[in-house]
Amino acid sequence: MPILNLPLANIIDNLQEAGSNTGWNSKQFFAQCFVITLLFIALNLLAWKPVRTVLEERRKKIEESMANAEKIKQQLADAEASRLSIIQKATEQATAIIAAAEKAAVARGEQRTQEAVRQAEEIIKKAHEAAVLNRDRLLAELKREVGALVIQTTEKVAGKVLTTDDQTRLNAETLRQLSADKN
C-alpha cells in the first residue's frame, strides 16, 4: 500500500511498526550509527590519515626519483657528449702530433741529406785540393828532376861545370818550354 503524504509522526510509527515486525530497533540503529561514526572518525584520525601521509610521502619520493632519474639521464648524456668531445680532441691532437712528427722527420731527413751532401762536397773538395797539392808537389819534383837531368845533360854535352846562374837559367828555359808544350 502506497503512502504518499503522511505526516512525520505517521512515518516514525510506520517505521517502528515495520521494525518490530522485522526486529529493527531505532535505539540500536542510532547506537550503531553513533558507533560507526566514532569508528569512522577514529579510523580517519588513526589509520587513514597516517596511511595517506605515508602514501603522499611515497608519491613525493617517486616524483623526486623520477626527477633525479631525468637529471641523471641528462648528466649521462652530457658526460657521453663530453667523452666524445674529449676523444675527438685527443684524436685531433694525436693527428696534429703525428703530422708534426712526420714534418719533423722529413725536415730532419732533408737536414741529414743536406749534411751528407755538404760532407760529400767537403770530401770531394778536400780530395780535389789533395789531388791539386799532390799534382803540384809532383810537378815541382818533376821540375827539379827535369832541371837536374837538363843540367847533367848539359854538363856532359858541354863538358864543363855550370854555375848557379847557368843552372837557374836552364831550369827557367826548360820549364817555359814544358809549359808551352802543355798548352
Q: Name which of 6-15, 128-137, 173-182 the model is least confident about.
A: 6-15
Q: What is the pLDDT of residues 74-118, one digit of tens each?
A: 999 999 999 999 999 999 999 999 999 999 999 999 999 999 999
CA separation for the pair 175, 183 (Å, rounded): 13
End-to-end CA distance of the chain: 168
Tell me, letter by letter, the H, E, C secondary structure of 92-116: HHHHHHHHHHHHHHHHHHHHHHHHH
Residue 1 banded pLDDT, cuts 50, 70, 90: very low
Distances (CA, A) of 114 to 100, 101, 122, 168: 20, 19, 12, 51
- pTM of the entire predicted model: 0.39
pLDDT score of 34 more than 90? yes
Q: What is the pLDDT of residues 125-163, one digit of tens each?
A: 999 999 999 888 888 888 788 777 777 777 777 666 777
Cell of 26: 531505532
